[in-house]
Structure 1
Amino acid sequence: MKRIFGIAILTALMACNQAEKKSAETNDSTKTDAASVKNEISIKDEKKLAIFTQYVDLKNALVKSDAVSAQKSAAVLKNSLAAYEGCEPTADIAGKIAASNNLVSQRKDFTVLSADLIALLKNAEIEKGTIYVQHCPMANKGNGGDWLSSEKEIKNPYYGNEMLECGRVAEEIKAK
């Protein structure tokens, strides 16, 4: 009986070690694949491309939980949105983010900003690359939140380092 019990423990330990090695190998190959392929985005409408690029800067500032950088990025984005016909209300939202140094408030407004920009960019003529619409079900007290990304890898702007990889790719907006 002791021998059977000992073999069972030994087998379980060996299985756990093998699983760790396999997951480490898988993670390593995934990282090199993601690093070697850069997703360059090209949008026919230069104004939409500028808006998307500035939005990504804002998202990245929120990923880093950097309220000051988020303010600066949102101020630049606000000006671009104000200059784009029909985006004046969205520019006001970017202005609210630029006016606040409270990360929680910025992230709450980022939800509305993201929804507007997702709608804007779904109709964009993408010439090259893929824009990823990503979703975190836990954002906004469980109501969820979406955002745009130029990378398939999840980097959650609603939680930063607290839950950096929480989320999934909900949709891909690709070149036609």
Structure 2
Amino acid sequence: MKKIFGIAILTTLMACSQAEKKSTETKDSTKTDAASVKNEVSIKDEKKLAIFTNYVDLKNALVKSDAASAQKTAAVLKNSLAAYEGCEPTAEIAQKIASSNNLVVQRKDFTVLSADIIALLKNAEIEKGTIYVQHCPMANKGDGGDWLSTEKEIKNPYYGNEMLECGRVAEEIKAK
């Protein structure tokens, strides 16, 4: 009787274990499908769209921990910001990033740059897509840092490959 009871429990546990694996596989494939959908963002104001596009290029360079690419994209972003009235101080921050080849310094300045650009784009008239405001609580020695992304999936510009997925979506700026 004890053997039959033991076999019944073992069979039940194995069946539950298999069910958990199947549900995990389903979740993973769903996640991949959702991540592969391209979120194209369109902003009515062409100057704000240029700023956002150049900003995303800079963010992606920092995600890849590519200091040289970050310098180049920050220089382009600086020009976009300088062309937008009221963004001259933010253009100076982009110039600081463009002037440095040190990732630590670039990422520190990226925090201030991001705060300014987030404030600018919260009032933008988005025609299509979603802009994700993302947050890493560990950035800047625990002070945290925000950034913008066209993807819901977290790709952390403050740590690159060290902690690529550290962070969360804090807000979504959507088309109206």
Tell me the TM-score normalized by structure 1. 0.88
Write out per-residue CA displacement over residues 143-162 of structure 1, whole angstroms, 9 at most, x where no aligned residue: 00000000010000001111
5+ residue gaps, structure 1, are none
Write out per-residue CA displacement over residues 37-74 of structure 1, whole angstroms, 9 at most, x where no aligned residue: 21110100001001100000000000011111111110
Q: Report how far residue 164 of structure 1 moved.
A: 0.6
Q: Report how far residue 27 of structure 1 moved.
A: 4.5
* Deviation >3 Å, runs of 4+: 1-20
Instruction: Describe the shift of the 1:6–1:119 C-alpha distance in structure 2 as closer, same or farther (beyond 3 A).
Output: same
5+ residue gaps, structure 2, are none
Residue pair 2:35, 2:153 contacting (<8 A) in 1 also? no
Instruction: Describe the shift of the 1:25–1:127 C-alpha distance in structure 2 as closer, same or farther (beyond 3 A).
Output: same
Please, which moves more after superposition, 109-118 or 28-37?
A: 28-37
Structure (1 or 2) with the larger CA radius of gyration? 2
- Write the distance in 1 (CA, Å) between the matches of 2:2 and 2:89: 73
Instruction: Describe the shift of the 1:61–1:13 C-alpha distance in structure 2 as closer, same or farther (beyond 3 A).
Output: farther
- Write the distance in 1 (CA, Å) between the matches of 2:156 and 2:94: 19
Q: Report how far residue 32 of structure 1 moved.
A: 3.5
Q: CA RMSD in A?
A: 2.6
Please, which moves more after superposition, 12-21 or 106-115?
A: 12-21
> Percent identity at matched positions?
91
The aligned counterpart of 1:99 is: 99
Instruction: Describe the shift of the 1:6–1:101 C-alpha distance in structure 2 as closer, same or farther (beyond 3 A).
Output: farther
